[in-house]
Structure 1
Amino acid sequence: MKSRVWTIGAMMMTLSMLMGGCGKEEAKPVDIVEGVDKCDVCHMNVANDHNASEIVLQNGKVLKFDDIGCMYRWTKEHENEQVEARFVRDYLSKEWVNTDQATYVYDKTFQTPMGYGVYSFKDKAAAEAFVKEKQTGSVMSVQDLDKHAWESSMKKHGQSDGHPESGQHGTSDAQQTHN
Protein backbone atom coordinates (compact mmCIF):
# COMPACT_ATOMS: atom_id res chain seq x y z
CA MET A 1 0.00 0.00 0.00
CA LYS A 2 2.85 2.39 0.88
CA SER A 3 4.56 1.77 -2.45
CA ARG A 4 1.32 2.40 -4.32
CA VAL A 5 0.83 5.78 -2.54
CA TRP A 6 4.46 6.64 -3.24
CA THR A 7 4.08 5.71 -6.94
CA ILE A 8 0.91 7.80 -7.30
CA GLY A 9 2.62 10.71 -5.53
CA ALA A 10 5.65 10.46 -7.80
CA MET A 11 3.44 10.38 -10.89
CA MET A 12 1.49 13.44 -9.71
CA MET A 13 4.73 15.29 -9.02
CA THR A 14 6.13 14.43 -12.45
CA LEU A 15 2.89 15.46 -14.15
CA SER A 16 2.81 18.81 -12.35
CA MET A 17 6.44 19.51 -13.31
CA LEU A 18 5.71 18.70 -16.95
CA MET A 19 2.63 20.91 -17.02
CA GLY A 20 4.51 23.78 -15.39
CA GLY A 21 6.99 23.84 -18.27
CA CYS A 22 4.29 23.90 -20.94
CA GLY A 23 2.37 26.96 -19.81
CA LYS A 24 3.69 30.10 -21.44
CA GLU A 25 4.26 30.64 -25.15
CA GLU A 26 7.33 32.46 -26.40
CA ALA A 27 6.70 36.18 -26.98
CA LYS A 28 6.23 37.10 -30.63
CA PRO A 29 5.93 40.40 -32.49
CA VAL A 30 2.56 41.42 -33.86
CA ASP A 31 1.67 42.94 -37.21
CA ILE A 32 1.88 46.69 -37.67
CA VAL A 33 -1.41 48.26 -38.77
CA GLU A 34 -0.48 51.37 -40.71
CA GLY A 35 -2.72 54.36 -40.08
CA VAL A 36 -3.81 52.89 -36.74
CA ASP A 37 -0.70 52.02 -34.73
CA LYS A 38 1.03 54.91 -32.99
CA CYS A 39 4.49 55.03 -31.46
CA ASP A 40 4.33 54.61 -27.68
CA VAL A 41 6.88 57.43 -27.27
CA CYS A 42 6.34 60.11 -29.91
CA HIS A 43 2.75 59.13 -30.86
CA MET A 44 3.50 59.28 -34.59
CA ASN A 45 2.08 56.69 -36.97
CA VAL A 46 4.16 53.52 -37.15
CA ALA A 47 4.97 52.51 -40.71
CA ASN A 48 5.14 48.81 -41.58
CA ASP A 49 8.77 49.15 -42.63
CA HIS A 50 12.34 48.38 -41.54
CA ASN A 51 12.29 51.12 -38.88
CA ALA A 52 9.43 49.63 -36.82
CA SER A 53 10.22 47.99 -33.49
CA GLU A 54 8.21 46.42 -30.67
CA ILE A 55 8.39 45.49 -27.03
CA VAL A 56 6.28 42.68 -25.59
CA LEU A 57 5.70 43.10 -21.85
CA GLN A 58 5.33 40.11 -19.53
CA ASN A 59 1.62 40.87 -19.17
CA GLY A 60 1.26 40.38 -22.96
CA LYS A 61 0.84 44.05 -23.89
CA VAL A 62 2.69 45.00 -27.09
CA LEU A 63 4.25 48.45 -27.44
CA LYS A 64 5.04 49.70 -30.95
CA PHE A 65 7.65 52.23 -32.02
CA ASP A 66 8.37 54.04 -35.29
CA ASP A 67 12.15 54.22 -34.66
CA ILE A 68 14.58 52.02 -32.73
CA GLY A 69 15.59 55.16 -30.84
CA CYS A 70 12.04 55.58 -29.54
CA MET A 71 12.10 51.98 -28.27
CA TYR A 72 15.35 52.64 -26.43
CA ARG A 73 14.02 55.92 -25.08
CA TRP A 74 10.94 54.08 -23.69
CA THR A 75 13.19 51.37 -22.21
CA LYS A 76 15.32 53.95 -20.43
CA GLU A 77 12.26 55.79 -19.06
CA HIS A 78 10.58 52.54 -17.90
CA GLU A 79 13.48 50.56 -16.44
CA ASN A 80 11.21 48.82 -13.90
CA GLU A 81 8.75 47.44 -16.48
CA GLN A 82 8.77 43.68 -16.94
CA VAL A 83 9.84 43.22 -20.59
CA GLU A 84 9.39 39.77 -22.10
CA ALA A 85 11.02 40.52 -25.48
CA ARG A 86 12.11 43.32 -27.82
CA PHE A 87 11.97 43.10 -31.60
CA VAL A 88 13.39 45.07 -34.52
CA ARG A 89 13.00 44.67 -38.28
CA ASP A 90 15.72 43.53 -40.64
CA TYR A 91 16.67 46.46 -42.89
CA LEU A 92 16.68 44.28 -46.02
CA SER A 93 13.77 41.85 -45.57
CA LYS A 94 11.66 43.64 -42.90
CA GLU A 95 11.61 40.30 -41.04
CA TRP A 96 11.15 40.58 -37.25
CA VAL A 97 14.31 39.80 -35.26
CA ASN A 98 14.82 39.61 -31.50
CA THR A 99 17.01 42.57 -30.48
CA ASP A 100 19.53 40.22 -28.86
CA GLN A 101 20.06 38.39 -32.17
CA ALA A 102 20.27 41.44 -34.45
CA THR A 103 23.28 43.47 -35.54
CA TYR A 104 22.98 47.22 -35.91
CA VAL A 105 24.51 49.96 -38.02
CA TYR A 106 24.61 53.56 -36.86
CA ASP A 107 25.44 56.76 -38.66
CA LYS A 108 24.04 60.19 -37.82
CA THR A 109 23.23 60.71 -41.52
CA PHE A 110 21.01 57.60 -41.85
CA GLN A 111 17.37 58.57 -42.37
CA THR A 112 15.04 57.15 -39.71
CA PRO A 113 11.62 58.49 -38.66
CA MET A 114 12.88 60.26 -35.55
CA GLY A 115 16.46 60.85 -36.68
CA TYR A 116 18.25 58.34 -34.44
CA GLY A 117 20.16 56.88 -37.44
CA VAL A 118 20.17 53.19 -36.46
CA TYR A 119 19.30 50.34 -38.82
CA SER A 120 18.97 46.71 -37.75
CA PHE A 121 20.05 43.56 -39.59
CA LYS A 122 19.33 39.91 -38.82
CA ASP A 123 22.77 38.99 -40.13
CA LYS A 124 26.10 40.54 -39.07
CA ALA A 125 27.59 39.92 -42.53
CA ALA A 126 24.73 41.89 -44.12
CA ALA A 127 25.35 44.78 -41.70
CA GLU A 128 29.06 44.78 -42.53
CA ALA A 129 28.32 44.65 -46.27
CA PHE A 130 25.92 47.59 -45.89
CA VAL A 131 28.62 49.69 -44.17
CA LYS A 132 31.14 48.74 -46.86
CA GLU A 133 28.69 49.60 -49.66
CA LYS A 134 27.64 52.95 -48.12
CA GLN A 135 31.20 53.72 -47.01
CA THR A 136 29.84 55.07 -43.73
CA GLY A 137 28.41 53.77 -40.49
CA SER A 138 29.49 51.75 -37.48
CA VAL A 139 28.49 48.13 -36.88
CA MET A 140 27.10 47.70 -33.36
CA SER A 141 25.86 44.88 -31.12
CA VAL A 142 22.87 45.10 -28.80
CA GLN A 143 25.34 45.69 -25.95
CA ASP A 144 26.72 48.67 -27.88
CA LEU A 145 23.19 50.03 -28.29
CA ASP A 146 22.61 49.77 -24.54
CA LYS A 147 25.53 52.21 -24.09
CA HIS A 148 24.67 54.38 -27.13
CA ALA A 149 23.98 58.12 -26.57
CA TRP A 150 20.65 58.02 -28.51
CA GLU A 151 20.74 61.56 -29.81
CA SER A 152 18.39 62.48 -32.58
CA SER A 153 19.53 64.44 -35.62
CA MET A 154 16.21 66.27 -35.34
CA LYS A 155 17.74 68.49 -32.66
CA LYS A 156 19.26 70.35 -35.59
CA HIS A 157 15.75 71.44 -36.53
CA GLY A 158 14.98 73.13 -33.22
CA GLN A 159 13.27 70.30 -31.35
CA SER A 160 14.56 69.89 -27.82
CA ASP A 161 14.01 66.15 -27.42
CA GLY A 162 14.29 64.82 -30.97
CA HIS A 163 10.54 64.49 -31.42
CA PRO A 164 8.86 67.00 -33.72
CA GLU A 165 6.04 68.99 -32.27
CA SER A 166 4.42 69.40 -35.65
CA GLY A 167 3.28 65.77 -35.92
CA GLN A 168 5.37 65.08 -39.02
CA HIS A 169 8.35 62.76 -39.11
CA GLY A 170 11.70 64.30 -39.85
CA THR A 171 10.31 67.53 -41.24
CA SER A 172 11.75 70.83 -40.20
CA ASP A 173 9.66 73.96 -39.73
CA ALA A 174 11.18 75.39 -42.91
CA GLN A 175 10.20 72.28 -44.91
CA GLN A 176 6.64 72.35 -43.54
CA THR A 177 6.20 75.95 -44.66
CA HIS A 178 7.02 74.98 -48.24
CA ASN A 179 4.78 71.87 -48.36
Structure 2
Amino acid sequence: MILAACSSKEPRDINSATDVCEVCNMSVSSEEHAAQIVMDNGDYTVFDDLGCLMEFMMDADASEIGGAFVKDASENKWLNIEKATYVYSEGNWTPMNYGVLAFDSKKSAENWIEKEGMGKLLSYDDLQGFEWGVHH
Protein backbone atom coordinates (compact mmCIF):
# COMPACT_ATOMS: atom_id res chain seq x y z
CA MET A 1 0.00 0.00 0.00
CA ILE A 2 2.67 2.49 -1.06
CA LEU A 3 1.47 5.82 -2.38
CA ALA A 4 3.13 8.10 -4.86
CA ALA A 5 5.16 10.19 -2.41
CA CYS A 6 6.04 12.71 -5.11
CA SER A 7 2.46 13.11 -6.24
CA SER A 8 1.37 16.51 -7.50
CA LYS A 9 -2.15 15.86 -6.21
CA GLU A 10 -3.21 18.29 -3.50
CA PRO A 11 -5.97 18.02 -0.86
CA ARG A 12 -9.04 20.21 -1.09
CA ASP A 13 -10.90 22.10 1.62
CA ILE A 14 -13.53 20.16 3.54
CA ASN A 15 -17.12 21.34 3.25
CA SER A 16 -18.65 20.30 6.58
CA ALA A 17 -22.14 21.05 5.26
CA THR A 18 -21.97 18.53 2.42
CA ASP A 19 -18.96 16.19 2.83
CA VAL A 20 -19.77 12.66 4.03
CA CYS A 21 -17.30 9.96 5.01
CA GLU A 22 -16.92 7.31 2.31
CA VAL A 23 -16.70 4.48 4.88
CA CYS A 24 -19.11 5.27 7.73
CA ASN A 25 -21.41 7.78 5.95
CA MET A 26 -21.17 10.30 8.79
CA SER A 27 -20.82 13.96 7.93
CA VAL A 28 -17.30 15.33 8.13
CA SER A 29 -18.16 17.86 10.81
CA SER A 30 -14.92 17.68 12.86
CA GLU A 31 -12.66 19.04 10.17
CA GLU A 32 -9.65 18.83 12.49
CA HIS A 33 -9.88 15.01 12.23
CA ALA A 34 -10.63 14.84 8.51
CA ALA A 35 -8.71 12.77 5.99
CA GLN A 36 -8.93 12.45 2.23
CA ILE A 37 -7.67 10.61 -0.80
CA VAL A 38 -7.05 12.33 -4.11
CA MET A 39 -7.47 9.84 -6.92
CA ASP A 40 -5.25 9.97 -10.02
CA ASN A 41 -8.29 10.97 -12.07
CA GLY A 42 -8.81 14.07 -9.86
CA ASP A 43 -11.72 12.75 -7.79
CA TYR A 44 -11.68 13.29 -4.02
CA THR A 45 -12.81 10.81 -1.38
CA VAL A 46 -13.22 12.25 2.12
CA PHE A 47 -13.29 10.63 5.56
CA ASP A 48 -14.27 11.84 9.02
CA ASP A 49 -11.43 9.90 10.72
CA LEU A 50 -8.00 8.59 9.72
CA GLY A 51 -9.14 5.08 10.62
CA CYS A 52 -11.88 5.25 7.97
CA LEU A 53 -9.31 6.31 5.36
CA MET A 54 -7.03 3.41 6.32
CA GLU A 55 -9.92 0.92 6.13
CA PHE A 56 -10.83 2.25 2.67
CA MET A 57 -7.21 1.93 1.49
CA MET A 58 -7.07 -1.76 2.48
CA ASP A 59 -9.48 -2.53 -0.38
CA ALA A 60 -8.52 0.26 -2.78
CA ASP A 61 -6.46 -0.12 -5.94
CA ALA A 62 -3.24 1.66 -4.94
CA SER A 63 -2.46 2.46 -8.57
CA GLU A 64 -5.52 4.74 -8.68
CA ILE A 65 -4.53 6.79 -5.61
CA GLY A 66 -2.70 10.02 -6.32
CA GLY A 67 -2.24 11.04 -2.68
CA ALA A 68 -3.66 10.62 0.80
CA PHE A 69 -3.83 13.30 3.46
CA VAL A 70 -4.83 13.78 7.09
CA LYS A 71 -5.25 16.90 9.22
CA ASP A 72 -2.48 17.76 11.67
CA ALA A 73 -3.77 17.49 15.26
CA SER A 74 -1.92 20.59 16.43
CA GLU A 75 -2.28 22.85 13.38
CA ASN A 76 -4.97 23.34 10.76
CA LYS A 77 -2.96 21.96 7.84
CA TRP A 78 -2.98 18.89 5.63
CA LEU A 79 -0.23 16.28 5.97
CA ASN A 80 0.77 13.56 3.54
CA ILE A 81 -0.10 10.37 5.44
CA GLU A 82 3.24 8.73 4.58
CA LYS A 83 5.23 11.62 6.07
CA ALA A 84 3.21 12.25 9.24
CA THR A 85 3.97 10.89 12.71
CA TYR A 86 1.06 9.44 14.67
CA VAL A 87 0.01 9.11 18.29
CA TYR A 88 -2.41 6.43 19.44
CA SER A 89 -4.19 6.41 22.78
CA GLU A 90 -7.59 5.17 23.88
CA GLY A 91 -7.98 8.62 25.42
CA ASN A 92 -7.58 10.46 22.09
CA TRP A 93 -11.01 11.53 20.89
CA THR A 94 -11.63 11.08 17.18
CA PRO A 95 -15.01 10.95 15.39
CA MET A 96 -15.03 7.14 15.02
CA ASN A 97 -13.08 6.50 18.23
CA TYR A 98 -9.98 5.10 16.49
CA GLY A 99 -7.81 7.27 18.76
CA VAL A 100 -5.03 8.00 16.22
CA LEU A 101 -3.89 11.60 15.74
CA ALA A 102 -1.44 12.92 13.12
CA PHE A 103 1.45 15.35 13.60
CA ASP A 104 3.88 16.96 11.18
CA SER A 105 6.96 15.71 13.03
CA LYS A 106 8.12 13.24 15.64
CA LYS A 107 9.01 16.19 17.90
CA SER A 108 5.45 17.60 17.68
CA ALA A 109 4.01 14.17 18.50
CA GLU A 110 6.39 13.72 21.45
CA ASN A 111 5.47 17.19 22.75
CA TRP A 112 1.77 16.26 22.57
CA ILE A 113 2.38 12.98 24.43
CA GLU A 114 4.35 14.82 27.12
CA LYS A 115 1.66 17.50 27.50
CA GLU A 116 -1.25 15.02 27.58
CA GLY A 117 0.58 12.37 29.60
CA MET A 118 -0.53 9.54 27.29
CA GLY A 119 -0.01 8.05 23.87
CA LYS A 120 2.17 5.78 21.79
CA LEU A 121 4.19 6.97 18.79
CA LEU A 122 3.37 5.31 15.47
CA SER A 123 4.80 5.68 11.98
CA TYR A 124 2.92 5.27 8.71
CA ASP A 125 4.38 1.76 8.48
CA ASP A 126 2.93 1.00 11.93
CA LEU A 127 -0.52 1.95 10.64
CA GLN A 128 -0.34 -0.87 8.10
CA GLY A 129 -0.51 -3.49 10.86
CA PHE A 130 -2.67 -1.48 13.24
CA GLU A 131 -5.96 -3.05 14.32
CA TRP A 132 -8.40 -0.54 12.82
CA GLY A 133 -11.59 -1.78 14.46
CA VAL A 134 -13.44 0.85 16.47
CA HIS A 135 -11.47 1.26 19.67
CA HIS A 136 -12.90 1.81 23.12
Q: Is the TM value for this pair above 0.5?
A: yes
Deviation per residue, 1:81-136 (Å, 9 max, x gap) = 61110001111112001111110000122110001000000121010011111111
1:142 equivalent in alignment to 2:124: yes
Q: TM-score, normalised by structure 1?
A: 0.69
% same residue = 34
Q: TM-score, normalised by structure 2?
A: 0.89
Q: In structure 1, what is the equivalent of residue 59 of structure 2?
A: 77
Structure 1 segments unaligned to the other structure (5+ residues): 1-24, 155-179
Deviation, 1:77, is: 2.4
Deviation, 1:64, is: 0.3
Query: Which of 99, 103, 111 is equivalent to 1:121?
Result: 103
Deviation per residue, 1:16-58 (Å, 9 max, x gap) = xxxxxxxxx8100001001100001111111252210000111
Higher mean alpha-carbon deviation, 31-40 vs 71-80, is at 71-80
Q: Distance in 1 between matches of 2:126 and 2:32?
A: 20
More helix, by proportion: 1
SS at match of 1:50: helix
Instruction: Label 1:54 to 1:121 Cα distance change in 2 as closer, same or farther (>3 A).
Output: same
Instruction: Label 1:125 to 1:80 Cα distance change in 2 as closer, same or farther (>3 A).
Output: closer
Structure 2 segments unaligned to the other structure (5+ residues): 1-6
RMSD: 1.5
Higher relative contact order (CA 8 A, sep 6+): 2
More strand, by proportion: 2
**Amino acid in the other structure paired with 1:153:** H
